[in-house]
A and B are shown apart, each in its own frame.
Chain A
Amino acid sequence: MQEASLKKLFVDRRVAETQEAVSIQARLDIPAAIVDDAREVYRFVSASDDPVRTGKTVLFLTRNQGAFIKRCPGTRRYNCCGYHILHIGTFCTMDCAYCILQAYFHPPILQYFINRRDMWMELQSLFQDKRIRRVGTGEFTDSLIWEQWTDLSARLVSTFARQASAVLELKTKTTAVSGLCELRHNRKTIVAWSLNTPYVIESQERGTASLDDRLTAAALCAFRGYPIAFHFDPMIIYEGCESDYCDVVVRMISAVSPENIVWISLGSFRFMPELKSIIQKRFPESKVVYGEFVPGRDGKMRYFKPLRLALYQRIVATIRELAPRVLIYFCMEDDEVWEKSLGFVPLQHGGLPHLLDERAVEICELRP
């Protein structure tokens, strides 16, 4: 994470005296202010010309007012993986043109939740439940952008290592894995990377690690015994994209052996309609919103189905050729896409959550 990009720290008065808040403040040499009300922070961000950009330079330490563990909102009318979000914070310091977080939060604020005790208690309840659970911290934020000033991931990895019914997935576009390397993870933490073509990374993903760097970090984690996952999401359609994505698959398999890969997900670019004008304004050079999109059954704009099917089929064929036993799944796609790309629909195997649970049991040695 680029610490230099943070310009201001706001601290909720309720957490100002906590050890973690003090520790984070000490690590960040930036102006700090204690606030009594989150609205002060919202007003500060909203008042700027580019609230999204400002939201990435302001860190707000506060309490999570709701649950730490929640079901992923997923989407209606398409198959969802049924994983659980561990809500450690919101937003991101990197700046990808296509990022849905730009439109998801109003205003978008980089928040980190300090009431860690509540989080541990919820996790303990989850573990006591003994049902297979896949839990991730990378839904509303990047899992590893917090590494530079917190030890959260290390503590989570150690916590998950001591139980056998749940896996933790850390999903990232960074290479901030040095804090994970010496940990005893017991294969209960999956380290996952969002992948894209070099063209998309360079043109649309400001501040993220290069493809090579991500794969190097993935290889390092695989060497340390971590199960690895890759998410081709969002896949962007452009001239030559199919061969570019196939090339990424080849490089991915070269870096990480298939037996170390838990799963690979595929998902083409999809977005709430209100994101379009945000992208046009903040990234006027970006062409991502000028593809052939149609409203999906869930109201999100999606590539016209034949176009995304053609891309999926090509990538699946490449993955199958190089890593035939790796589980491939689609994020938020319907049965027709599954059938025509993978040759089956999730329900034939008990549903997508079941497929992923079974895979987690196998690779991460879970014991429900």
Chain B
Amino acid sequence: MIYCNEELVSLSDIDCTDNTYRITTRTDSDDLCPSIEKIGIINPPYLKRKKSFSHKIISGFRRIEAVRRIGWPAIPARLLDAQTDRLLCAKLAIADNALQRPLNLIEMSRALHLLFNILQDPEKTAQTSTETGLPASPAFVEKIKGLCTVAQPVQSAVISSAISLPVALELREMPEEEGVRFAAIFESLHVSLNRQREILTLTKEIAAREGFSVLDILGCRQLESICHNSDLDRSQKAQQALSYLKTRRFPSITLAEQTFEAHKKALKLARGIHLVPPKNFEDTVYAFTLSFRNLQELKERTSSLAGVLTHPDLAKILGSSVA
């Protein structure tokens, strides 16, 4: 049972700096102002009384901000007694959001973080969260509760879906500056989870091998130049950035692949004929694949292939076997 009075509370009596129970990540209130002006407050915020008349916001941060923008001096609010326990306040804050709309990852993290700080137990946190409209498992609680403590740019990247959850969790384990830098790159490139992981791994391994910091690698001239090249679209930037990192991480392998491709191009293979090198050039077996739809195509392509056999670039490919 929630004991509260509905009162008209002066905005000057509300402490808008205390974000303890803030779940929402949205800071704007543009969408709320017009409807509040026309219809008023349908769902009054919850506030918790404080002795110094500076009431703590439990729910309704955006409604209060909207009212302030409109210029109202006061807002109808549900005032909770000063003795109301933290857990009830947390549950109200979460339910007020989770029962109205899906929460983003950072909002989920804020909710679970809030509950965990009070309950100190993942199972109880999961159960309570589920009761308040935010289903969670203990494993999910453990995984996600810390996400809201990462640097703001990383959080923003998560909210904008530039960073996936697994990558965000990995960035959380890094020094803050590194995480922020990666977040900025992923915001700029908007690549898939696999690509994000690849960029992370390549960068870290280059740094480890060459004795540089991750920031040194991310701030290198070549990468900066790619990321700031306004002639490239996102996809092109991502491709070039990855290509640069792969070349730097695997210079010999990249060179071997490029050499093979150059020789293969010189063969001018006819349509339907493909030359497949051994995987990673570890084996010594190459393969020609020949596709055809009818006997005529087969004859033409077979004849074309026969002509390739004496090409000097084929000899170079096979004679070197890469080494």
- The answer on a CB contact under 8 Å between B209 and A305 is no
With A290-B209, A306-B323 as known contacts, state yes or no: A336 contacts B284, CB within 8 Å. Answer: yes
Please indicate the chain A residues that have their CB under 8 angstroms from the CB of B249 in the complex: 292
Please indicate the chain B residues that have their CB under 8 angstroms from the CB of A336 in the complex: 284, 321, 323
- The answer on a CB contact under 8 Å between B252 and A297 is no
- The answer on a CB contact under 8 Å between A292 and B253 is yes
Total A-B Cβ pairs within 8 A: 46
Please indicate the chain B residues that have their CB under 8 angstroms from the CB of A297 in the complex: 282-283
User: B41 at the A/B interface (Cβ < 8 Å)?
Assistant: no
- The answer on a CB contact under 8 Å between A294 and B280 is yes
- The answer on a CB contact under 8 Å between A295 and B256 is no
- Interface residue ranges of B215-258 to A (CB < 8 Å): 249-253, 256
With A294-B253, A309-B323, A340-B323 as known contacts, state yes or no: A304 contacts B281, CB within 8 Å. Answer: yes
Distance in angstroms from A310 CB to nearest chain B CB is 8
- The answer on a CB contact under 8 Å between B282 and A306 is no
Q: Which of B205, B249, B282, B321 has the most CB of A within 10 A?
A: B282
User: B169 at the A/B interface (Cβ < 8 Å)?
Assistant: no
Please indicate the chain A residues that have their CB under 8 angstroms from the CB of B284 in the complex: 334, 336
Distance in angstroms from A160 CB to nearest chain B CB is 38
Distance in angstroms from A99 CB to nearest chain B CB is 19
Distance in angstroms from B255 CB to nearest chain A CB is 9
Please tell me which one of the listed residues B250, B283, B321, B322 contacts residue A292 in the complex, with CB atoms under 8 A apart: B250
Distance in angstroms from A361 CB to nearest chain B CB is 32
Annotate A333-344 by CB proximity to B: 1 below 8 A, 0 otherwise. Answer: 010100010000
- The answer on a CB contact under 8 Å between B280 and A304 is yes
- The answer on a CB contact under 8 Å between B250 and A296 is no
| Interchain CA distance A302-B280 in the complex, whole Å | 10
- The answer on a CB contact under 8 Å between A305 and B205 is no
User: B208 at the A/B interface (Cβ < 8 Å)?
Assistant: yes
- The answer on a CB contact under 8 Å between B282 and A302 is yes
Please indicate the chain B residues that have their CB under 8 angstroms from the CB of A305 in the complex: 281-282, 322-323
| Interchain CA distance A292-B279 in the complex, whole Å | 15
- Interface residue ranges of B185-219 to A (CB < 8 Å): 205, 208-209
- The answer on a CB contact under 8 Å between A294 and B282 is yes
- Give the contact-size bracket for chain A: 10 to 19
Please indicate the chain B residues that have their CB under 8 angstroms from the CB of A302 in the complex: 282
- Interface residue ranges of B135-174 to A (CB < 8 Å): none
User: A307 at the A/B interface (Cβ < 8 Å)?
Assistant: yes
Please tell me which one of the listed residues B205, B209, B279, B322 contacts residue A306 in the complex, with CB atoms under 8 A apart: B322
- Interface residue ranges of A295-339 to B (CB < 8 Å): 295-297, 302, 304-307, 309-310, 334, 336
Please tell me which one of the listed residues B209, B280, B281, B322 contacts residue A287 in the complex, with CB atoms under 8 A apart: B209
Residue in chain A with minimal CB distance to B250: A292
- The answer on a CB contact under 8 Å between B252 and A292 is yes
| Interchain CA distance A310-B323 in the complex, whole Å | 8
- The answer on a CB contact under 8 Å between A304 and B209 is no
- The answer on a CB contact under 8 Å between A304 and B256 is yes
With A294-B280, A297-B282, A297-B283 as known contacts, state yes or no: A306 contacts B208, CB within 8 Å. Answer: no
| Interchain CA distance A294-B253 in the complex, whole Å | 9
Residue in chain B with minimal CB distance to A286: B208
Please indicate the chain A residues that have their CB under 8 angstroms from the CB of B208 in the complex: 287, 290
- The answer on a CB contact under 8 Å between A296 and B209 is no
Residue in chain A with minimal CB distance to B254: A292
Please indicate the chain A residues that have their CB under 8 angstroms from the CB of B253 in the complex: 292, 294, 304
Please indicate the chain B residues that have their CB under 8 angstroms from the CB of A340 in the complex: 323
Distance in angstroms from A274 CB to nearest chain B CB is 16
- Interface residue ranges of A273-296 to B (CB < 8 Å): 287, 290-292, 294-296
Q: Which of B251, B252, B256, B281 has the most CB of A within 10 A?
A: B252
Please indicate the chain B residues that have their CB under 8 angstroms from the CB of A292 in the complex: 249-253
With A290-B209, A307-B252 as known contacts, state yes or no: A295 contacts B280, CB within 8 Å. Answer: yes
Please indicate the chain A residues that have their CB under 8 angstroms from the CB of B280 in the complex: 294-295, 304
- The answer on a CB contact under 8 Å between B282 and A296 is yes
Please indicate the chain A residues that have their CB under 8 angstroms from the CB of B321 in the complex: 336
| Interchain CA distance A309-B209 in the complex, whole Å | 21
Please indicate the chain A residues that have their CB under 8 angstroms from the CB of B251 in the complex: 292
Binding site for A on B (CB under 8 A): 205, 208-209, 249-253, 256, 279-284, 321-323
Binding site for B on A (CB under 8 A): 287, 290-292, 294-297, 302, 304-307, 309-310, 334, 336, 340
- 28 inter-chain pairs at a CB distance below 8 angstroms, sorted by A residue, are A287-B208, A290-B208, A290-B209, A291-B209, A292-B250, A292-B251, A292-B252, A294-B253, A294-B280, A294-B281, A295-B280, A295-B282, A296-B282, A302-B282, A304-B252, A304-B256, A304-B280, A304-B281, A305-B322, A305-B323, A306-B252, A306-B256, A306-B281, A307-B252, A310-B323, A334-B283, A334-B284, A340-B323
**Smallest CB-CB A-B distances: 8 pairs:** A294-B280, A290-B209, A306-B323, A309-B323, A290-B205, A292-B250, A336-B284, A304-B253
